Structure 1
Amino acid sequence: MRTAIIVGGRDNQEIAAQLHLSEKTVKAHVGNILLKPGLKDRMQAAIYALKATTGW
């Protein structure tokens, strides 16, 4: 779910509004999501999510 929000094209401000969080909190969570599998940016997260969900 978290990755889907990130790779859905939303920026931190939009994610914060949707989840009722501050932008700073969203930025921290996005950073943690990218850090865990060693990803550098949201594009890599999108590819990672695609591979994980489709077996591509």
Structure 2
Amino acid sequence: MDYGVKASHFTPVGNALLYTLKQGLGEKWNPELRQAWVDTFRVVATVMKAHSFSH
């Protein structure tokens, strides 16, 4: 399956996601929550890259 995504898209999208979550969650945003989202996005990106760029 081709998502139409380039490898160069993942970093800015991940950064935008983290920024949006930080803004939306305000005081609830903390280092542990940030790391959980970084880890989650990394898994999603890894799976998407494996299916987009190897097939």
What TM-score range do you get, normalising by the shorter chain? 0.3 to 0.5
TM-score (norm 1): 0.39
In terms of fraction of residues, the more helix-rich structure is 2
TM-score (norm 2): 0.40
Q: Name the larger-Rg structure.
A: 2
Which protein has greater RCO, CA pairs closer than 8 Å, 6+ apart? 2
